[in-house]
Chain A
Amino acid sequence: MDEPASITTTPLAGEMTSAAGSGGPWADLHPPLSQDEALVEANRCYFCFDAPCLHACPTGIDIPGFIRRIATSNLKGAAVRILEENIFGGSCARVCPTEILCEQACVRGAQEERPVKIGLLQRHATDWLMDRQIQPFQRAPASGRRVAVVGAGPAGLACAHRLARRGHDVTVFETRAKPGGLNEYGIAAYKLVDDFAQREVAFLLALGGIRIEHGRTLGADLPLGALQRDFDAVFLGLGLAGVNALAFVPEGPPAGLRDAVGFIAELRQAPDPRQLVPGRRVIVIGGGNTAIDAAVQSRRLGAEDVTIAYRRGPADMGATRWEQDFARTEGVRILYHLTPLGLVTAGGAVAGVEFVRARPGTPEPAGERVTLPADRVLTAIGQRLDLPVLDITPRVAAGRIVVDANRETSLPGVFAGGDCVAGQDLTVRAVQDGKLAAEAIHRRLSGIRE
């Protein structure tokens, strides 16, 4: 066959061979969509009426509405549509387990097992706005009212932002050095790359009317009674300050044993994570997202052998199916039905964990004992509300602060939301709590009857 005249054979230019190379352990887990990809994906959306995806979003974002705006190249409109309901729309686009939220409900999932990529589209729109530093919201005229928020996590800042939009002045008291809560200290590094947590907080604060005081700790230098007295309302977005510990761990724990949340916080704050020593053989005890994140990040730091040991079966795990599969593709082994009995130590350091096999479906021991070797054991067996000792205390039940539908606690004028109250421990839920509390506070302060 004759080759067309214009086909020649010449060596390739250098630019063609350097395609690989990006990525790395802390690269974006789900890279952003290109312009073309976003358009194609947005046009897959049917613009459903009374859309199921919208109902599955804890913050009730108008998903068909924002996706249609992407489809018509109205990216500003799309971003505003998202941020109106969820000021953390940027981080939620990255960290939400969409496979159990909006995308789980998408009708295209039912139709062809391929839901619209709502999370990535949400990111496409919010990134567009934030990259241009467009501030879409304005504050209502000053109300002269002041609200105290404790905790600069997603719940506290979502509450603060909504209140500031409504014209109130907000002071946020935060014990840690940086704002963002677990977005800054807890979420896996590959979910919020490029210092996104801080960039998002800066974007949110640019509205005005919100002042954060760091190094202020409720229960230490801040009595709740004083806040209740000195401010027109109080919101508690304390998160879960405590972590559960294994019952059998002795006083003065052995080297190599640590809690997963603390490990991730250290990793997130490390100037160069590669300097961290993850351990060679790591066992993560637990079955939630924290266990997955700790295990995957240990692998990415270079641990050779990482095992998650969970006491029940795959369906009982707090981590979604998607996350379990993700951990496996990262080379993490997941063992089910293993209840920890004790640590094996050698020379003051962990050497392994002893388990008993549980009867499937229960954490009850079935008999057989297994010992797995390890030089690092991470515990991810749940976080706990460690409410500080307070002068006045809101009612607590089942380990969480009790609130009503307005997110008001048993103390009048004191509201609470996010992980410190009962519900799914997710960023998006914390944002919704903060927003609902802010609207209730606003109604109260402006004399609107319920």
Chain B
Amino acid sequence: MADLSVNFASIRAPNPFWLASAPPTDKEYNVVRAFRAGWGGVVWKTLGEDPPIVNVSSRYGAISHAGARMAGFSNIELITDRPLEVNLREIATVKRDWPDRALVVSLMVPCTEESWKRILPRVEATGCDGIELNFGCPHGMSERGMGAAVGQVPEYVEMVTRWCKQHSRMPVIVKLTPNVTDIRAPARAAKRGGADAVSLINTIQSIVAVDLDSMAPEPVVDGQGTHGGYCGPAVKPIALRMVAELARDPELAGLPISGIGGISTWRDAAEFIALGAGSVQVCTAVMHRGFRIIEEMADGLANWMDEKGHTSIESFLGRAVPNFVHWEDLNLDYVTKARIDPALCIECGLCHIACEDTSHQAIAIHRHGDRRRFEVIEADCVGCNLCAHVCPVSGCIRMVAKDVARPKRTWKQHPNNPDRREAAE
């Protein structure tokens, strides 16, 4: 059986599945339940200075997609609304009772060295395994000069990270906001400041819906709404890209990455790990179904690893990173053609109309009475694979690679490219 344990920035955990800093990790009660269920670690809900903030009601908006609830999720919550002392006491208790699990504490205090100097020793005294700097909260806190506002300015990220390294011995994970144009800038700043790792993504600024009766963004608080932080399955592609972008950045080589954003199943986790995440964090999926989803995540990941012969997380960590290349490095001479399996086809016509109306007119209909047969016109098929996506029957349309004799030719070598370099390599 595969070994799921991880050593992430010298924080050890029995598995790579951690709970992200959010309501599921706001109290001893929740965290103990999570550990009992099998979670490998938690990042405690972000702590701030007293007096604690105050939250509104309601707090969440959500997107249902085709009947599936919470495909996208949004919140207008702030950091913890409980007194610092209470949180610190509970953190110490939990760490004492669960020494084998990762317990990281998320922090957000005003951008002054004094504030950080004050809180760091108190956090360190709990015996926790490390801290995560919340530079990502996209609402509420950023208006006060904390969170995303800090995260969007690389100089601030570097400065605060450095304070934390100076005033504590704990591993420092910098949590990045996705609300920037180039995710590498804050990550590089974190590294310069001495960060031991980065985690991403925090939530994305959003308005999930507008209530057309009260004419206010959702969730509606007494007739008004504000922008929220978007997360859940819908954000996974954005998060994967940002994780991969950091994983392949030579300037960041060796910096551990904790992947966050839309992770709900073992497969999501495996994808993040393959793109360079040494641990993964989950929030929306447990808010939807409870901590018990860890059983399936751990079991599914282990079964898949066994099947593929991966004995440890290390053995496939980052394995997809070298294959995440720039567009100009893709092989332009690689050609695929759609092929429809007539035995599986249910004659819905979606492939035809997609190709006919919006692509290359490469799927013909042969009519015979009231039966129809759909056939790819190979000469016209550009291999875009739109039809394979719209086809409701799995495996019915396959993209078949054509033999190409020539060696790989990229845009850099292509005759159509005015700046072409002759293939010397």
Contact = CB atoms under 8 A, between A and B. Distances in A.
Are both chains from one complex?
yes
A135 interface: no
A1 interface: no
Interface string A24-39: 0000000000011000
A73 interface: yes
Contact of A9 (B293, B366, B377): B366
Interface in B353-386: 356, 361, 363-369, 371, 373, 377
B97 to A, nearest CB: 25
A7 interface: yes
Interface in B196-236: none
B289 A47 contact: yes
B402 to A, nearest CB: 21
A16 B292 CA distance: 47
Given A65-B295, A72-B300, A74-B304, A6 B368 contact: no
A36 B373 contact: no
B168 interface: no
B267 interface: yes
A43 B68 contact: yes
Interface in B252-299: 265-267, 289-290, 292-293, 295-296, 299
Contacts of B289: 47
A77 interface: yes
A342 to B, nearest CB: 56
B393 A36 contact: yes
A74 B290 contact: no
B68 A74 contact: no
Given A36-B394, A76-B303, A77-B300, A7 B368 contact: no
A4 B367 CA distance: 12
Contact of B342 (A6, A9, A10, A16): A16
Interface residues of B, number: 34
Given A8-B366, A10-B368, A47-B289, A74 B373 contact: no
A36 B342 CA distance: 17
Interface string A47-76: 101000000000000000100110111101
B377 A65 contact: no
A126 to B, nearest CB: 15
A68 B366 contact: no
Nearest to B393: A36
A6 B361 contact: yes
A43 B343 CA distance: 26
Nearest to A11: B368
Nearest to A40: B392
B337 to A, nearest CB: 16
Contacts of B393: 36
A7 B343 contact: no
A74 B296 contact: yes
Taking each of A8, A36, A71, A72, which has the highest tally of chain B beta carbons within 10 Å of its own beta carbon?
A72
Contacts of B342: 13, 15-16
Nearest to A75: B303
A74 B356 contact: no
A448 interface: no
A36 B393 CA distance: 7
B356 A69 contact: no
B296 A69 contact: yes
Contacts of A11: 368
Given A65-B295, A72-B266, A73-B267, A6 B364 contact: yes
A12 interface: yes
Contacts of B293: 47, 68
A5 interface: yes
A76 B307 CA distance: 10
Contacts of A8: 364-367
A43 B233 CA distance: 15
Interface in A149-199: none
A69 B365 contact: no
A9 B367 contact: yes
A208 B190 CA distance: 57
B394 A16 contact: no
A4 B394 contact: no
Interface string B141-164: 000000000000000000000000
A10 B366 contact: yes
Interface string A110-148: 000000000000000000000000000000000000000
B360 to A, nearest CB: 11
A12 B68 CA distance: 39
A69 B307 CA distance: 16
A12 B373 contact: yes
A43 B68 CA distance: 8
Nearest to A73: B267
A74 B366 contact: no
Given A12-B371, A15-B343, A47-B289, A72 B303 contact: no
Given A15-B343, A16-B342, A36-B394, A69 B368 contact: no
A67 to B, nearest CB: 10
Nearest to A48: B289
A76 B308 CA distance: 14
A8 B366 CA distance: 5
A77 B368 contact: no
Interface of B: 68, 265-267, 289-290, 292-293, 295-296, 299-300, 303-304, 307, 342-343, 352, 356, 361, 363-369, 371, 373, 377, 392-395
Chain A to chain B: the 7 pairs with minimum beta-carbon distance, closest first: A74-B300, A12-B368, A72-B265, A6-B364, A77-B299, A7-B365, A10-B366
